[in-house]
Structures are given as structure tokens and as C-alpha cells.
């Protein structure tokens, strides 16, 4: 993919994220995205078919960065993985703000669950194999905890929230 196309996609993703922090997802129009991103409708449709494609692309990019970070740092333990994951959302609070304001929690949870499944199917970390139902359960628990943590204005630190999650996981595993 050429540099100009990557820049265009990034501007479109950032424009949608900005708009999602201010209004419901279903009310956001492609015209608003293109105007804010300063791209033409043609450029938008050359890169994405729908708004949903932008969200999917954004989530995929974040997932790939997460996997890269844990691979580079040779992170193997579940607690460390959760610390990195929670730390990402702590450092990028605007993302959860956008998810909640736009009302797309279901879309994001569905994507997160798919990526959790993909992640647990790899040998990246030293985590026991889990049936799909368990992955879905834990994905929901992590996501609900992130949303609650956001609602409490991140009142406890990253280490504390990761430790809370790991204690729940350890009870079950």
C-alpha cells in the first residue's frame, strides 16, 4: 500500500473517531467524515465501502499493534498481557469515550471477541487453550470492566485494574 493511501486512510479513521466522540454513530454521515478528513467522496470509497469498514480497519490496526508490542517485549503471562491491554485504553481514553458516545459498544465487543479468539488460537502467550464460549465470556468481562473503569473516571491505576481482572481469571482457570 502506498504512503498517500495510508495517509488518506489514517485521516478518514481519525475523522470518524473525532465525530464518534461527539455524536451517535448512526447519525454520522460520510459527508461529515470526508469534510473533516479533507478527502473527496471518491477517495473515501476507494479506501472504505462503509463506516463499518473504517471501524473494522481501526480495530484491526490496534490489534496488530498490540500483538506486535507483546511479541517485541516477549510478554507471556496473562497478567502482563492484561496490563498492556488496559494500559492502552488508559493512555487512549478518547477511544472508549468515542465507543460509548457513538453507541457502538456491541460492534466493538464483537470485534474484540473475534480478536481475542484469534489471539488465543496463536502461540504468542503462555495461556491455556480455551473453548470459544470461554473466550467470549472473558472478552465480555474485560470489555465490561473497561467500560466500568471509564465510567469511574479511571479511579484506579492500570496495575490495579489488571490485577483485578487476573484474580477473576485465576478463579476460573
- pLDDT tens, 79-92? 888 898 899 999 99
Domain positions in the chain are 51-172
pLDDT band at 147 (very low <50, low <70, confident <90, very high): very high
Write phi, then psi, for 154 (nearest 5 degrees): 50, 50
Q: Are 120 and 134 in contact (CB under 8 A)?
A: no
pLDDT at position 125 is 61
Which of 116, 108, 107, 119 lies closest to 138, judged by CA? 116
The residues, ordered by sequence, that sit 6+ positions from 89 with a Cβ below 8 Å of its Cβ are: 95, 96, 146, 149, 150
Question: Each residue of 5-44: pLDDT tens digit?
Answer: 999 999 999 999 999 999 999 999 999 999 999 999 999 9
Helix (H, G, I), strand (E, B) or coil at 2: coil
Write down the pTM of the prediction.
Answer: 0.86
Give the total residue count for the chain: 173
Q: Where are the beta strands (DSSP E) in 86-152?
A: none
Amino acid at each position: 500500500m502506498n504512503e498517500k493511501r495510508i495517509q488518506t486512510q489514517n485521516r478518514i479513521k481519525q475523522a470518524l473517531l473525532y465525530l464518534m466522540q461527539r455524536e451517535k454513530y448512526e447519525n454520522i454521515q460520510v459527508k461529515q467524515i470526508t469534510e473533516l478528513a479533507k478527502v473527496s467522496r471518491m477517495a473515501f470509497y476507494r479506501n472504505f465501502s462503509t463506516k463499518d469498514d473504517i471501524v473494522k480497519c481501526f480495530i484491526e490496526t490496534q490489534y496488530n499493534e498490540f500483538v506486535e508490542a507483546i511479541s517485541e517485549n516477549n510478554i507471556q503471562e496473562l497478567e502482563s498481557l492484561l496490563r498492556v491491554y488496559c494500559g492502552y485504553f488508559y493512555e487512549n481514553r478518547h477511544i472508549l469515550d468515542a465507543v460509548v458516545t457513538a453507541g457502538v459498544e456491541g460492534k466493538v465487543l464483537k470485534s474484540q471477541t473475534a480478536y481475542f479468539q484469534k489471539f488465543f488460537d496463536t502461540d504468542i502467550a503462555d495461556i491455556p487453550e480455551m473453548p470459544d464460549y470461554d473466550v467470549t465470556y472473558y472478552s465480555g468481562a474485560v470489555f465490561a470492566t473497561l467500560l466500568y473503569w471509564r465510567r469511574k473516571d479511571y479511579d484506579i491505576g492500570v496495575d490495579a485494574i489488571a490485577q483485578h481482572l487476573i484474580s477473576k481469571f485465576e478463579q476460573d482457570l
